[in-house]
Chain A
């Protein structure tokens, strides 16, 4: 199975700054089958991005996804107060696995 490694574990930033989150796969992810989720404390995860770069319904355009092969990135171009949360990547296709998460915290 593909193992997803997210980095950094924690990202300390201020509102208005740019956040860049990495998700690296142990082998190539065919077909760009990668999604990103946001999870706030006490809540279920929420789908942000699927197919590497397609925003889910209702997701603001400050969220963007990119990448291919084994390296994928979630970018939040200007952090809003409500964006401080934990973010997970997920591979799908031949199997389904999640990364371990990146926490974006207020600096």
Chain B
């Protein structure tokens, strides 16, 4: 069973880049059945999907964040990462990494689906 540990700075200045890494343990990240995802939750608010990546490199991004977002995977280190640039106070949130099941739909092909295992989350505050 995969387990996750998010790491990265807890404080980022406005206009700078937020960078987080999720180290995966208990299994390889190169399993074809899964995407690897980032989700965030602003204080006291709901969940927002950020984006997902398959170990082969295919990505799926939230359209509202796409212009500022890069998600990458390092199979040699069994981890994946998120970079969000030009951050503002609105990007303050708990950031979760998660395993996301891959599924096949005859219309859309392979796509990321539901999140079946989550990290404990890390709070990132955007402030000067």
Q: What chain A residues lie within 8 Å of B108 (beta carbons)?
A: 93-94
Q: Do A46 and B118 form a contact, CB below 8 Å, given A31-B105, A33-B113, A94-B108?
A: yes
Q: Which residue of chain B has its CB nearest to the CB of A54? A: B114
A45-67: CB near B (< 8 Å → 1, else 0) gives 11100100000100000000000
Evaluate contact between A35 and B114: CB separation under 8 angstroms. Answer: yes
Chain B binding surface, main DSSP class: strand
Evaluate contact between B46 and A47: CB separation under 8 angstroms. Answer: no
CB within 8 Å: A-B pair count: 65
A90 to B52, CA, bound (A): 15
Partner pick for A45 among B47, B52, B101, CB 8 A cutoff: B47
Q: Which residue of chain B has its CB nearest to the CB of A49? A: B114
Q: What chain B residues lie within 8 Å of A37 (beta carbons)?
A: 47, 115
Evaluate contact between A45 and B114: CB separation under 8 angstroms. Answer: no
A56 to B113, CA, bound (A): 13
Partner pick for B49 among A44, A47, A98, A101, CB 8 A cutoff: A98
Q: What chain A residues lie within 8 Å of B49 (beta carbons)?
A: 90, 96-98
Partner pick for B46 among A30, A43, A101, CB 8 A cutoff: A101
Q: What chain B residues lie within 8 Å of A98 (beta carbons)?
A: 46-49
Q: Is B80 an interface residue (CB 8 A)?
A: no
Q: What chain A residues lie within 8 Å of B117 (beta carbons)?
A: 47
Evaluate contact between B107 and A92: CB separation under 8 angstroms. Answer: no
12 contacts between A and B (CB under 8 A): A37-B115, A44-B96, A44-B98, A90-B47, A92-B103, A93-B113, A96-B52, A96-B112, A97-B49, A98-B46, A98-B48, A100-B46
